[in-house]
Amino acid sequence: MKIFLDANILVSVLNKEYPVFSYSSRVLSLTENARFKVYTSPLCLAIAYYFAEKKNGNHVARQKINLLAGKLHITVMDARLVAETIKNRQIHDFEDGLQYHSAMESGCKCIVSEDTDDYYFSEIETMKSRQFLEKYVF
């Protein structure tokens, strides 16, 4: 199963933000499970880096992003996805629209986000990390 991790999942892991960390770190660990292909976007990595750098400094943030980038599949974001996001009148938050379209383009069946309400327009399943684990892992 292909799943897409939103930036808030990555941030919660990199910055050990409890109580979400307990669940988001388990979801991220699914990169080691053959049943799952775990994706994120370049934009999610950039957002995660920004928050990791604020908390841990540049050097540690770079190390953490390097580790993530080596474990995750990275979606493509291009001019066509930008145009699709702009064209979709249901999408009010441009960044969420880009994440959604990159997840769709990569064939992801679920978006894992702690802000599931941001994906009110989604045609694919969207759930919080705990819900995802309960439904697909435990």
Number of CB atoms found within 10 A of residue 83's CB: 11
- Please report whether residue 126 resides in a domain: yes
At 5 the three-state DSSP class reads strand
- Please report whether residue 29 resides in a domain: yes
- Please report whether residue 110 resides in a domain: yes
- Please report whether residue 138 resides in a domain: no
- Please report whether residue 77 resides in a domain: yes
Give dist(CA 9, CA 24) in Å, integer.
Answer: 6
Query: Using CA of residue 30, residue 36, residue 39, residue 44, what is the dihedral sign?
Result: negative
pLDDT at 14: 96
Note down the domain range covering 28: 2-132
pLDDT at 117: 96
- Please report whether residue 137 resides in a domain: no
- Please report whether residue 7 resides in a domain: yes
Within the chain, residue ranges assigned H as helices are 7-14, 21-28, 42-56, 58-71, 79-87, 94-105, 129-136
Give the number of domains in the chain: 1
Residue ranges in the chain modelled with pLDDT below 70:
none
| Residue 110 phi, psi (nearest 5) | -155, 140
- Please report whether residue 24 resides in a domain: yes
CATH number for the domain harbouring residue 66: 3.40.50.1010
DSSP state of 18: T
